[in-house]
C-alpha cells in the first residue's frame, strides 16, 4: 500500500482531517518544527552545529548546501538539496508535494516555496504539485513559487515575483504574476 505522501505525489486529493494524514504528515511536521526551532535558536557563530542540525533535519541534502537561519520547513522528508545550494534567511518551505533544488541554485531572503493547495469547494481537502529549481537558478528576495512550477536552469526570478508557471532556462522573469522579461 502506498503511503499518503506517495498518494499525494501521484495527484490524490486528501482530507486533512483523515486519521492517516494526521499520523503520517503531522508526525513529520512536528519533527521538523522542533528541529527548525532548535536551529533557529542556535548562535549563528556555531556554523558547524547549525550544519549538523540541518543535515539531521534534511536527509537528502548535499554536504555543501546551506540554509541560513531562521527558516521554516514543514516536511523536510520531501525536500532534496543539491551541491552548493544556498538559501538566505527567512526561507519558508511547504514541501508536502516534493521540492528539488538542484546544484548551484541560490535563494534570496524570505523566499517562499509552496507545493500544497486546497480545494476551493472544501478547504480541508489538499492536493500537491512538486516544485523543481534547476541548476544554477537564482531566486531573488521575497519571491513566492507556487505548486507545480519548474524554474529552468540558469533562470533568474526577480525580487518580489510570484511564480505561477514554469520559467524557461536562462530567462529573467519578474512581476506578479511573474512574466518573461528577456532571454539571458
Which of 109, 111, 84 minimizes the C-alpha distance to 95?
111
Known active-site residue 26: no
- CA 134 to centroid of chain Cα atoms: 13
From the list 26, 118, 165, 170, the catalytic residue is 118
Which of 153, 151, 66 minimizes the C-alpha distance to 178?
151
Instruction: Name the DSSP class of 21.
Output: H
Cα separation, 159 vs 142, whole angstroms:
6
| Cβ neighbours, 10 Å, residue 14 | 20
Active site positions, annotated = 118
Amino acid at each position: 500500500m502506498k503511503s499518503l505522501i506517495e498518494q499525494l505525489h501521484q495527484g490524490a486529493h486528501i482530507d486533512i482531517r483523515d486519521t492517516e494524514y494526521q499520523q503520517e504528515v503531522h508526525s513529520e511536521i512536528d519533527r521538523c518544527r522542533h528541529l527548525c526551532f532548535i536551529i533557529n535558536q542556535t548562535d549563528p557563530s556555531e556554523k558547524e552545529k547549525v550544519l549538523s542540525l540541518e543535515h539531521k533535519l534534511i536527509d537528502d541534502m548535499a554536504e555543501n548546501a546551506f540554509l541560513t537561519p531562521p527558516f521554516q520547513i514543514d516536511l523536510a522528508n520531501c525536500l532534496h538539496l543539491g551541491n552548493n545550494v544556498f538559501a538566505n534567511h527567512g526561507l519558508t518551505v511547504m514541501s508536502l508535494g516534493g521540492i528539488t533544488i538542484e546544484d548551484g541554485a541560490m535563494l534570496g531572503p524570505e523566499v517562499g516555496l509552496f507545493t500544497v493547495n486546497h480545494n476551493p469547494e472544501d478547504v480541508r481537502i489538499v492536493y500537491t504539485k512538486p516544485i523543481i529549481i534547476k541548476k544554477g537558478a537564482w531566486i531573488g528576495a521575497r519571491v513566492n513559487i507556487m505548486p507545480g512550477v519548474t524554474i529552468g536552469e540558469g533562470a533568474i526570478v526577480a525580487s518580489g515575483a510570484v511564480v505561477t508557471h514554469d520559467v524557461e532556462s536562462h530567462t529573467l522573469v519578474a512581476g506578479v504574476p511573474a512574466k518573461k522579461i528577456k532571454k539571458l
